[in-house]
Chains A and B, each alone.
Chain A
């Protein structure tokens, strides 16, 4: 669907400073190494809420507006701190958007963040709100020893949308979603760790949905891969997005900025939004961007953007993705277990 009158006015990320190397995880389980180099780990006082608040404040800095102007706060996550009680209200209160604000939490595995972005786009485009904030953030968990433990990471990004093109960072040009009932990955209530279908998460889930969403949005736009300067795919590891890019005909250069999972892991609802933020940190006005997320269960959101002049003076108003990635402190597996609540404290 073509989008009219919706612009990115601000964006911001937050990535915890702690990193664990995949090899530090691997050696505990008798393997040589995992699918990525290292992943970001939330500290003892961090969770999806605190990451979301930090990312939102960074987005506000770039948007150059007060929090009270925000009329919509949608938060997408699969690691919400409460099963019942919205995180969106905490974010809204923390940035000063309350009480005249529409707020809710979204859950759609790893694509709750882009779904929130789509809904915010719809709000401003339809003139139901002047400014809408979408946040995707997670502190995802994998069962100790499970393949997800190598990649499940912490981080998030926030986007502020408006229908005003002045000083905008990018325009939202087109959106498309591809959704089916495909149970490749889930977590039941009260369960700490998710279950997944191993190889079933690949072909019928990730690849089918991402590919279809990308193809359909390009068809709708009358575009092909060469029309985009940058593309970001959901990144549960490094290989999946590389393979899907290759299959679709995108080059290594096109996926370069958006592919961060090797260095920070899979930040779930934050993954595509953080990759997109890194593209915005580097893109030039006029460049075209395609973002395609994936959420297990399953669905993909594809969103196309055009970078605008505002990006040049806005990007330095908040810390870049690279600065967050550079700000790192390595922890060992024991500290990681402590930080992630994987030690039985007897309570």
Chain B
């Protein structure tokens, strides 16, 4: 059930930890050890701001294996306020209410479980930012 593989990604999944190029300043998520912009190998890790806006979205109705019990669920590309696009599920939202440009914030949710006796994997999803104030 890929224990170490999931464990290794905990900082990305819990804290949106990406990288910042120390030469050109480009911010990447997921982390990049070689800057995709300038090729520099000089980087620092950085927890990204947990907010952004919906760049595009869809509804998965024919899910991959292990996600059947969650379907249908919305997925999106979210443009983080720190720059990078992140591929993510949206949660706490009615599909019909999702719009391109909608403000969203990161929450930590259950991504999947490896059966009834396996690991539970937690990580980022995004939900409408309005939930924050509820006004």
Query: What is the interface of chain A, defined by CB distance below 8 A to chain B?
Result: 17, 43-47, 49-50, 53-54, 81-82, 90, 93-94, 96, 319-320, 322-324, 326-327, 329, 345, 347
Contacts and interface: CB of A to CB of B under 8 A. Distances in A.
A50 B110 contact: yes
**Shortest Cβ-Cβ A-B pairs, 8 listed:** A323-B134, A45-B109, A94-B14, A45-B110, A53-B108, A327-B134, A326-B134, A50-B109
Given A43-B91, A49-B122, A94-B15, A327 B109 contact: no
Nearest to A316: B133
B98 interface: no
A35 to B, nearest CB: 26
B5 interface: no
Contacts of A324: 134
Contacts of B4: none
A44 B69 contact: yes
A49 B92 CA distance: 16
Interface in B80-95: 89, 91-92, 94
A322 B134 contact: yes
Interface of B: 10, 14-15, 47, 69-70, 89, 91-92, 94, 107-111, 115-116, 120, 122, 125, 131-135
The secondary structure that dominates the B interface is mixed
Nearest to B130: A327
A94 B116 CA distance: 23
Given A45-B91, A345-B69, A319 B122 contact: no
B122 A90 contact: yes
Contact of B122 (A94, A323, A327): A94
B120 A319 contact: no
A13 to B, nearest CB: 11
A320 B70 CA distance: 29
A46 B110 contact: yes
A326 B134 CA distance: 7
20 contacts: A17-B131, A44-B69, A45-B91, A45-B111, A45-B125, A47-B110, A47-B120, A53-B108, A94-B14, A94-B15, A94-B108, A319-B131, A319-B133, A319-B134, A320-B134, A322-B134, A326-B134, A327-B131, A345-B69, A347-B115
